[in-house]
Amino acid sequence: MGEVASLPLFDAHPAMPTLDRRTPNGLRLLDLFCCAGGASMGYHLAGFDVTGVDIAPQPNYPFDFCQADAIDFVRKHGHKFDVINASPPCQAYTMAQRIRGRIHPDLIDPLRQVLQATGKPYLIENVIGAPLERPVILCGAMFGLRTYRHRGFETGGGVTVPAPPHPVHSAPTAKMGRPVQDGEFMHVVGNFSGVPLARRIMGMPWATRDELREAIPPAYTHYIGRIITSAVQSGKGHAA
């Protein structure tokens, strides 16, 4: 388990709380395929008590962690949590992998089935083009971040999440492998240049280059977490 208190204060966006100002909401959240904890951090800052699960070791993960198969884990333990988030591997749905002819497992449908079986509110996150059902699309520009990084979130188990206003993409994105210039947005994929800047932009000061490439900014799940907290606590299961 990582030590949250040892991390630098979270400062990706002025609207986000810092680690020492978090207000617990009394709810437990399970984060499947958690990797280094970008999604987990957002939910933590929204007040959730977060537990992460991943098939691979995650030495930098900042919360309670269990190394296990995500689908097996949720079958056995999903009922113990109030909300479940899942970010299955995206490689099966990315254009780059299709062009290269690489085959990757499609986990979204079997994952959805086991999540629905828990009866708990859940979210499935993935890249644009993944077979999500009626996903809400989030973008870094919605939260004042210097990266676009579009991701879709399917919601189920009675919770819904509205999309915030989507700003026009007026800033260009820096070309792959080239340092980001003033006025440019960063594309945190592949062999990107500037890990310290990527940590600040993503809001993940603890993450390595490889971990940043696989992550989503905590700002996304902080937004989601604040919305679903009131819905889950009220028992209504949805929020406007």
pLDDT in tens, 50-61: 999 999 999 999
Tokens, residue 183? 């006025």
Beta strands in the chain, from DSSP E residues, in sequence order? 28-32, 49-54, 64-67, 83-86, 122-126, 136-138, 151-156
Longest dimension (CA), the chain: 49
Q: Which CATH architecture has domain 4-165+217-234?
A: 3-Layer(aba) Sandwich (3.40)
- Average pLDDT, integer, range 126-139: 96
Average pLDDT over residues 61-69: 97
pLDDT tens, residue by residue, 32-42: 999 999 999 99
Start-end of H helices in 22-69? 38-45
Compute the distance between CA of residue 64 and CA of residue 230 in angstroms, rounded to an integer: 24
pLDDT of residue 232 exceeding 90: yes
pLDDT of 8 above 60: no
Domain ranges of the chain: 4-165+217-234
What is the predicted pLDDT for the residue at 190?
87
What pLDDT, on the 0 to 100 scale, is given for residue 236? 54
Give the pTM: 0.88
As a whole number of Å, the CA-based R_g of the chain is: 17
Whether residue 65 is predicted with pLDDT greater than 80 in this model: the reply is yes
Do 119 and 103 contact (CB within 8 A), yes or no? no
Q: How confident is the model at residue 6 (pLDDT cuts 50, 70, 90)?
A: very low
Q: Which pLDDT belongs to residue 94?
A: 53
pLDDT higher than threshold 60 for residue 73: yes
User: Is the pLDDT reported for residue 166 higher than 70?
Assistant: yes
